[in-house]
Amino acid sequence: MIRKPAIIARNLHKWLGLLVGAQVLIWLLSGLYMVIVNIDFIHGDSLVRNTQRELGLPGTTDTGVADLIERFPEATTIDFTAIMEKTHYTIRTPDQSFLVDPVTGEVVSPLAEEQVRRIASYHFNGEAGISRTVLIESDPPMEIQTRRLPLWRVDFDDSFSTSFYIDPVNGALVTRRFSFWRIFDFMWMLHIMDYEERQDAHHPLLIGAQITGLTFALTGAWLLFYSFSRRKSAKPTGSSP
Amino acid sequence: MTLLRRLHKWLGLLIGLQVVLWLSSGLTISLLDPAKVSGRYWTQSLPVEPAYLPTGEILEPDELPPDRLRGATGISLTMRHGQMVYRVFGPEGERLLDANNGEILVFDQDHARQTAKQDYLGTGKIVTVQAGKAPDLETRRHAGDYWRVDFSDRVSTSIYISTATGEILERRNTYWRVRDFFWMLHTMDYQTRDDFNNSLIIAIILVAMWLGISGVILLFGSFTRQQFAFLNPFSGKKMVEITLLDPDGGPSRKVSLTAGSNLFLALAGQGIDLPSVCGGGGECGKCRVKIDAAELREPNRVEQGLVPSPLRKKGYRLACQMQAEQGFKLTMPRSQ
């Protein structure tokens, strides 16, 4: 049988390479994408404007929070929400939410599609128009799987397939997605080998591949010891002319 | 091929250590139980009763002291720790204002101790409560003052509580600290640990791509057809007979090898070890043998580099580059 460690190392490196080489290459490629493309860009920071503005307060003659607490005894939270610079109240109860216009004191939620489009355009940092709006009430796409529904999806007609997801109650820009984010998400799926949820990095398939991959890399390191030995270190073999 | 092989091994020497670190840190991170890393494994989840806003005395936002809301990007009226508060989100993070008098709430050491005790399910006791300021290594996603409550358990639990909101910022323990160390090795960001867009990792991964691509190309060339014959059970195994000549004119031997197999490996499989340092990689040139055959193929690039020309003309080849053929007569090197 084969006894030489160099031969064993070389054979292991070859066969393990055949076994996990493709996945190691996928790890490298997906890693490359994730380190090269800036994460703030991936999060869509460059797609939006008019966020993180200082809130204006409702005027003294407007409906106040004391009135709202009287009117909504189930309220657990009252948020001050800016819709295109005008501050509104979002009343949250354990079951549902309402948007209240502080000037009229009326419930104005859910927002009309037209208003959702205006809010989306107000936040969109680009020239493109809106190509599609749809209210998602069930079966959310993968890219918003953790978000609470319903949500408006507003698609823009730009080259990155930008989508804004907007809360139908208070017009909040819940999240944004575009092709770079979607590619990142796909790469992350490949990286952690969770092809269903794309979230779990603690599962047997990944761990098995990592152990095989690590063994593969270590046999490569082992081989380095043999691969840098040249002929000059060889003893004469007696077969010289 | 020789150039690729050289590239592959030099790149391996250059960044192989980081590749091993990537794989071992990735493995470690995957092995650690996420519930223990996040600390929720030792966390008591209490049923949350809805806390309704009470009617009665309350300051409207414009009745609050004016500087309290300056720069606020978010305001929210809600219940916290049994009292009605305004949560104010500003450039310095979140703070709570008493909705009845507008005072800024500050949570003391006793509150921190109480909150941590209520949250914690482990067996340890509180050892120390100390003040600190985020962001630091363990509270790097936050800003502002905190209380750090340390427990006397095996995993050195620390629960961080914000002085401004009285709420738990983070739960840290040995699992998290180990994971975070390996995360640092994985992202190669040795300062903040979270910035995986740093130029060092970009440079190394670009080099690693070449290591990977050259490896894939080499992989294709490193197998002989015969090594995959086992995939087809119907193809009969064809054997060839090879004669091994003693260099000193002693008796010759005959061995039977699988046709088309790598000569060096096939001989090693029979217990006949030719001299070699690299183990059949075409690197060291030590496995050269004189081959007498009816038709001997021309020396390849590897042999041109490693076998001197006069020897090549005499029929010397590298065993690791040859495939076994019927009728080969090999002159074995003198045993050392």
pLDDT digits (tens, 9 = 90+) for A53-75: 888 888 777 889 999 999 999 99
* Confidence class for position A237, pLDDT limits 50, 70, 90: very low
Mean pLDDT (whole number) for A106-125: 96
Q: Is B21 on the interface with A (CB under 8 A)?
A: no
* Confidence class for position A184, pLDDT limits 50, 70, 90: very high
B16 → closest Cβ in A14, A202, A224: A224
Q: What confidence tens digit (pLDDT) does each residue in B228-253 have? A: 888 877 777 789 999 999 888 888 89
Distance CA B105, CA B109 (A): 13
**pLDDT given for residue B120 in this prediction:** 96
B217: its two tokens:
């190309």
**pLDDT given for residue B297 in this prediction:** 93
Q: Is the dihedral of CA B209, B210, B212, B217 positive or negative?
A: positive
Q: What confidence tens digit (pLDDT) does each residue in A31-42 have? A: 999 999 999 999
Please name the residue of chain B whose CA is at the shortest distance from the CA of residue A234.
B286
> Does the structure show a pLDDT above 70 at A158?
yes
CB B316 within 8 A of CB B290: yes
CB atoms within 10 A of CB B128: 10
Question: Helix, strand, or coil here: B67?
Answer: helix
* Confidence class for position A235, pLDDT limits 50, 70, 90: very low
DSSP state for residue A231 in the 8-state scheme: G
φ and ψ of A63, to 5 deg: -60, 135
A164: nearest Cα among A114, A111, A120: A120
Query: Where do the DSSP E strands lie in chain B?
Result: 74-80, 83-90, 93-98, 126-134, 144-151, 158-162, 168-172, 239-245, 253-258, 288-292, 316-318, 329-331
A65 → closest Cβ in B23, B77, B316: B77
CB B77 within 8 A of CB B53: yes
Distance CA B254, CA A37 (A): 62
CB A94 within 8 A of CB A72: no
With a cut of 70, which residues of chain B have pLDDT below it?
1, 335-336
Distance CA B137, CA B194 (A): 10
Query: Where do the DSSP E strands lie in B183-282?
Result: 239-245, 253-258
> Does the structure show a pLDDT above 50 at A238?
no
> Does the structure show a pLDDT above 50 at A17?
yes
Distance CA B325, CA B294 (A): 10
**pLDDT given for residue A1 in this prediction:** 63
Tokens 């809130």 sit at which residue? A55
Q: Is A105 on the interface with B (CB under 8 A)?
A: no
Amino acid at site A230: R
B317: nearest Cα among B309, B307, B326: B307
> Does the structure show a pLDDT above 50 at A236?
no
φ and ψ of A117, to 5 deg: -65, -40
**pLDDT given for residue B59 in this prediction:** 93
Distance CA B224, CA B229 (A): 9
- A220 burial via Cβ count (<10 Å: 0-12, 13-18, 19+): buried
Tokens 């939620």 sit at which residue? A109
* Shortest distance, CA A76 to any CA of chain B (angstroms): 4
Mean pLDDT is lowest, of A87-96, A101-110, A228-237, B234-243, for: A228-237
Distance CA B129, CA B160 (A): 10
CB B241 within 8 A of CB B327: yes
CB atoms within 10 A of CB B326: 13
B121: nearest Cα among B39, B38, B43, B40: B43
CB atoms within 10 A of CB B133: 12
| Number of helical H runs and strand E runs in chain B | 8, 12
DSSP codes, A76-101: SEEEEEEETTEEEEEEE-SS-EEEE-
Measured between beta carbons, which residues in chain A are less than 8 angstroms from residue B277? Answer: 6, 226, 229, 233-234
Distance CA A146, CA A154 (A): 18
Measured between beta carbons, which residues in chain B are less than 8 angstroms from residue A71? Answer: none
> Does the structure show a pLDDT above 90 at A85?
no
CB B187 within 8 A of CB B180: no
DSSP state for residue A217 in the 8-state scheme: H
Q: Say whether A238 and B333 touch across the interface (CB within 8 A).
A: yes
Mean pLDDT (whole number) for A69-88: 94
Please name the residue of chain B whose CA is at the shortest distance from the CA of residue A206.
B30
Interface subset of B 277-316, CB within 8 angstroms of A:
277-281, 283-286, 288-290, 306, 310-311, 314, 316
Q: Is B74 on the interface with A (CB under 8 A)?
A: yes
Mean pLDDT (whole number) for A166-174: 96
DSSP state for residue B286 in the 8-state scheme: T
**pLDDT given for residue A229 in this prediction:** 65
- Round the average pLDDT of chain A to a whole number and report it: 91
Question: Helix, strand, or coil here: A201?
Answer: coil
CB A109 within 8 A of CB A168: yes
Question: How many Cα atoms sit within 13 Å of B247 on the Cβ side?
Answer: 14
B218: its two tokens:
């080499």
CB B154 within 8 A of CB B172: no
